[in-house]
Amino acid sequence: MTSVDKPTTAPPIPDQDARTDKAVTEAALFEAFGGVRGMVETVLPGLLFVTIYTINKNLQGSAIAALGVSLLLVAVRLIRRDTVKHAFSGVFGVAFGVVFAMMTGNAKDFYLPGMVYTLGLALAYIVTTLAGVPLIGLILGPVFKENLSWRTRNPGRKKAYAKASWAWGLILLAKCAILFPLYWWADTTQLGWVLVALKIPPFLLAVYLTWVFLAKAPPPIDVFAEMEAEEKAEEERKAAAARATGGPDAS
């Protein structure tokens, strides 16, 4: 067979590799943050609360309806055997809001636990980034099967995670800068509608920026594949040693 006849393997096309990496990044972000369904589950309880309260100014009825729809969303996921982490987080958030509002008798307090959580999350993104362990990397590392390998073995990826964490932190801080003054100065319905309006756009902006930063970063190091390869190599070494010594594993 001449060199012309020998089969050849076409080299990877850079554009195709880039598109593949971007698609993988997009899918991973979609999984990590819940996708469209996760957004609906995040918005629906608060939307139901403010809608009912706007109509009848009944704190108890609005709170029960919001908690009820949260529990219903969890039940649907359990029945369908879907991932329940996003729905459960929504239930806990709504439950805290309901309990707090019922204790104080102030309908605006339904939103306060979620606002405090948003502020804490913003600070967590910023503080962890300053500490050299950006939070978004801790969240997405297992999704990309790289765990914490990006910290020491993939500096380009660590830089991308730092940029993304800064984006999340600053966007959430900007959201808090709008909501907390409204908590003191606006009435319940005004605060509620603004909060519902600010649920999705900042989130989508943060996810988009994360996608942009990671799409330009080096690909993740698949530590699970590395461990599997090491285990397979170790088994092959043991088998080779057994064959060399005529042991029971020799074929």
Question: Taking a C-beta distance cutoff of 8 angstroms, is the pair 98, 63 a contact?
Answer: yes
Tell me how crowded residue 2 is: count the other CB atoms within 10 A of its CB.
Answer: 5
Q: Name the nearest CA neighbour of 143 among 60, 206, 83, 190.
A: 83
Quote the CA–CA distance of 211 and 217 in Å, as a whole number.
Answer: 10
Indicate if the alpha-carbon torsion angle 89, 126, 174, 142 is positive or negative: negative
pLDDT in tens, 110-153: 999 999 999 999 999 999 999 999 999 999 988 888 989 999 99
pLDDT in tens, 188-211: 999 999 999 998 899 989 999 999
pTM for this entry: 0.79
Task: Using the predicted structure, report yes or no on whether residue 250 has a pLDDT greater than 70.
Answer: no
Beta carbons within 8 Å of 96's beta carbon, 6+ residues apart: 113, 114
The most confident of the ranges 7-16, 91-100, 108-117, 226-235 is 108-117
The residues spanned by each domain of the chain are: 14-231
pLDDT tier for residue 87 given thresholds of 50, 70 and 90: low
Identify the residue whose tokens are 């439950």.
95
